Amino acid sequence: MRFVLPLGGVPGRDWVINNYVDRDPGAGVRDYQGGRRSYDRHQGTDWDVPNFRWMDRGFPVVAAAEGRVTAVHDGEFDRNVSCGFLGILKPPNLVELTHGDGTRSRYLHLRRGSVRVAVGQTVAAGEPLGAVGSSGCSTAPHLHFEVRGPGGAIVDPFRPNLWTDPPPYDTPLAVMDLVVRNGPIESEDGLKDPPPNAGRIGPEQTLGIGLSLAGGSAGDRIAVRLEGAVEPEVVTSIVPGEPPHRYRFWNLPPARHRGVRRIVVRAGGEVRASHELR
């Protein structure tokens, strides 16, 4: 049996794998490449989408292989940003498939009301099961894809030859989303579930600029240019490390953004995102 990717889209633009199965049997962390892109005892693969407003557009989750639906759960709140009290008590929305050799694949944290299959139904590889959400114990919208062998033991889907087209481990630095606010961004949570981007910035307001970033390597730089502003450019150095999905934000006082008409984000000398202001 081999797997197709459990969701569509382009890595670095639409999603990034933020955590892999932890292969370290002790208290340490080790992913399938020997890196630290996981956390202790993590049993699946987490596929992050940029934020909740991307989730709201609908990110289909599909069957990674042909199988029979053996469990479903739906109806739980799907916008959790922490694994706190309610997240621990409430189960995630999920679908479980059992495949011909007894292997099971599980698709967790789905969006409320998105489950499209029923127990007993047979589905083909690539058939829609639901949509990405953040239900249960979840800190941001993502798919937790988990594989267990016939005896229940965790199977790392990144062991050799399990993917028909394996996703890349490393991707270039990418801007998955640009957030622009008429007012300050208080925390990463403001980037996980942002309102629509501001079309106008008040002359006495703080300008909040945030990015949902994926991938990259040491030494990469992000340049945020405020075209028309008194001080037209803000540059920050990005040191990726872990996790591969990161959020960055800046709050600029009026003197720094006065006159701005366009926000342009560049990485590697190329424009990766932009936003027009009136």
148 and 58 within one domain: yes
Summary mean pLDDT of the chain: 92
Question: What local confidence, expressed as pLDDT, does residue 90 receive?
Answer: 84
Tokens of 11: 């890595």
Number of H helices, E strands in the chain: 4, 17
| φ, ψ (nearest 5 deg) of residue 193 | -135, 70
Is residue 239 pLDDT above 90, yes or no? no
Is residue 84 pLDDT above 80, yes or no? no
Tokens of 45: 């693969």
- For the chain, the farthest-separated pair of C-alpha atoms sits apart, in whole angstroms, at 65
22 and 144 within one domain: yes
131 and 69 within one domain: yes
Question: What local confidence, expressed as pLDDT, does residue 38 receive?
Answer: 93
For residue 16, list its beta bridge partners: 48
Classified as helix, coil or strand, 216 is: coil
Bigger pLDDT: 231 or 57?
A: 57
Note whether residue 165 is domain-resident: no
Q: Find the mean pLDDT for residues 234-256.
A: 83
CATH of the domain at 205: 2.60.40
203 and 147 within one domain: no
Is residue 242 pLDDT above 70, yes or no? no
Lowest mean pLDDT across 47-56, 65-74, 227-236: 227-236
Question: What local confidence, expressed as pLDDT, does residue 241 receive?
Answer: 60
Among 121, 155, 189, the domain boundary falls at 155
133 and 39 within one domain: yes
Confidence of residue 86 (pLDDT cuts 50, 70, 90): low
239 and 115 within one domain: no
Note whether residue 162 is domain-resident: no
Is residue 158 pLDDT above 80, yes or no? yes
**What's the CA gap between 276 and 262, in Å, rounded?**
5
Q: Find the mean pLDDT for residues 220-237.
A: 86
Buried b (16+ CB within 10 A) or exposed e, 20-57: bbbbeeeeebbbbeeebbbeeebebbbbbbbbbbbbee
184 and 132 within one domain: no
Question: What local confidence, expressed as pLDDT, does residue 109 receive?
Answer: 97
Confidence of residue 87 (pLDDT cuts 50, 70, 90): low
Bigger pLDDT: 278 or 213?
A: 213
Q: In which order are the strands placed within the sheet that holds 207-214? A: 174-182, 207-214, 245-252
Helix H or strand E encompassing 236: strand 233-237
Lowest mean pLDDT across 27-31, 64-68, 241-245: 241-245
Domain total of the chain = 2
Which domain range does residue 224 map to? 174-276
Buried b (16+ CB within 10 A) or exposed e, 120-157: eeebebebbbbbbbbbbbbbbbbbbbbbbeeeeeebbb
Among 120, 155, 190, the domain boundary falls at 155
190 and 147 within one domain: no
CATH of the domain at 121: 2.70.70.10
Note whether residue 219 is domain-resident: yes
143 and 198 within one domain: no
Give the model confidence (pLDDT) of 117-150 as tens digits.
999 999 999 999 999 999 999 999 999 999 999 9
Note whether residue 245 is domain-resident: yes
Note whether residue 166 is domain-resident: no
Note whether residue 262 is domain-resident: yes
Note whether residue 169 is domain-resident: no
148 and 74 within one domain: yes
Note whether residue 1 is domain-resident: no
Q: Find the mean pLDDT for residues 152-160.
A: 95
Q: What is the dihedral of CA 49, 80, 85, 62, to 10 degrees?
A: -50
24 and 140 within one domain: yes
CB-based contact 257:218 (threshold 8 Å): no
At CA 13, angle to CA 114 and CA 212, rounded to 5? 90
Strand spans (E) along 51-151: 60-62, 67-73, 94-98, 104-108, 122-123, 128-131, 142-148
Strands 142-148 vs 154-155: parallel, antiparallel or unpaired: antiparallel
For residue 266, list its beta bridge partners: 223, 271
Is residue 260 pLDDT above 60, yes or no? yes
Classified as helix, coil or strand, 254 is: helix
Among 98, 124, 155, the domain boundary falls at 155
Residues of the chain above pLDDT 70, percent: 97
205 and 91 within one domain: no
Distance of CA 102 to the CA centre of its chain: 29
The amino acid sitting at 148 is R
Q: Find the mean pLDDT for residues 12-33.
A: 93
